[in-house]
Structure 1
């Protein structure tokens, strides 16, 4: 009975988030409170459990990077990059979007995708302001590009790190198996952007000409602080890439970087804390508790075991179901606890086999979980962060406004991913 009540509470909270009858933060907190009242969640499961609790690594990674972005904003570097990007694109909206999408995707392959959108979003808002463009399509495109680009490498998206730890796959394995299809998906995604957002590419010759006459170097307000902050950011990025060798979680690296940036900046707390999206952090907390309750009562695990029994040793069918099922479920629940729960199931299916068809199950899990995050506004951390930044700057993006584009992108990218898995691992292997 408790399981049904938990599922009903989760569904109710999700409907409130999707319909926006109340603010998404209130809906997430309501859902988390319901899980406590039902007796599924207590302080231990909510705050201290790695399997069912709040993922503090995600929360503190976000907090640390938001503080670093807050320090960087004081230097004028985002204004510099905005003018530079607009000038290189000749002020043409679609060229600007392509440039920002490619930068976001490439950066997300080397960094956490949330970190990437935190750095790119301020530049986007300023570019659009200079050119008189609506920034919403650009922000949506960047969130989706970050999820696509993050699929390419082991460090690009947290689910990939979980898969690597369970499967023993290396950084090079991810590059060789995931990057080729990600390049194709990115090109297809750019084509989709041209169609989906075509009404937003209104070229204003006068504003473009005004931007072309600007000198981006004049935007830098504090060169000394900029140099120090960029050195710190560079060290943080190195820490992200080499965190496994350093035995430091990315969240610790981000917090160390934030502390160093605050120390060298000598700014007042209000100046750098003004960039922290507190409502986004609280929303994540509530969402983690709700998803953790589903894991606690065995809902996610039951789905995984049902999959195992249904597919048996039919590997193409198993790969197809894992890819499609992961894409659907990752659009509804955060893909980090989902992958953490399903990874042992995939490990059982793969066993000790190292042949290409068995390994395809791991790539199906990664592609489905990472790309499925694009399907809804709450499917991936980067999406939630983008919505928070947009709202903070007066550009509200509704759940359905994001999701109507997300479903198109997810359908196209997952279909192409299935074709890639079938061709590479079952036809040409």
Structure 2
């Protein structure tokens, strides 16, 4: 267990419509922190630092949220200087004394995506604890706490005022009132009643942390609260040790298609061989998460640099994952749609090879699997175009040496592989990470 909490808040430039500040170009303009002893909750240190943005302006919306103007930050230090100041404090009060610590934030995005992406853009080397942070996301911890306190369910985790109300926390009230004079009329509703500077935000987050700890007593009745931080360091170590070929994608637009993902990765030099998302009870309400599978560990590792890049004006979190995660989730894995158009009733996805077929087909156009056996299990993950998609693994046990199409063996395509397990030799499509016939790993492929 960590001996200290570093409660931190990151304020960035922003723009509602992405005209001046796109989702993957926002810059840090202020950092504030409070270091607490995790056992006594006594303050060890606190501080804040302003940062001068170099590529994006401080918009009227940004000022309405933070009270900061260009005049206040124009003479501040660079992003590199702010990172150095935070590192100096952490080294002096924690690392030099051998004190383990965990960050506490309202939104883990700030440390898991914003800082690494901006550091990469500005050629700044982050300290390891910032590059791969261990962090408690207070929204997640509050959500876990709610599971034991149903009386709080009317206060969702979607907003800070809701969390403060449920936990009986008094947020810090800024002396500044609403700042709307430079905001367009349609954005004035976004201006908070009491905009807060980063330190005021950190004090409020500290109060939430205190209350969450107090209201999670006794500990044995709240086993999931503030016990399992998001640990990017552990994820990276596991990814490297396993030589994983799988990346996890989150914050995806809900209408993301496979072709958009392929184009996005190709633009940044990545070439995944498969994409999967998670099936939900309502197929038209996807989770916004997914997986990208690569042909090699090296290619997957290189594509981690896409963390924070935007697709369809939304910045995406790209993080390490594992084939074991896919194995556990295989029953709910499903392809991304090929287009934004909804499929026509009756169109079906072949459970043998993942090909999307028109309703009129009596057998899969690609592998010949009969429609009569799988119509009840069709996922409708296509646009009626009859094009192949990536599908989850459905084991097909037969005595054939590979997929067949209308009685003939399907020819090898780019990325296809033959199982190297003794006595199997099954021809698997490129999307499969395990043999469809015997379940053996692609790592022992013969071809």
Normalized against structure 2, the TM-score is what? Answer: 0.24
TM-score for the superposition, normalised by structure 1: 0.24
Higher relative contact order (CA closer than 8 Å, sequence separation 6+): 1
Q: Which has the greater radius of gyration?
A: 2
More helix by share: 1
- Quick check: which one's strand share is greater? 2
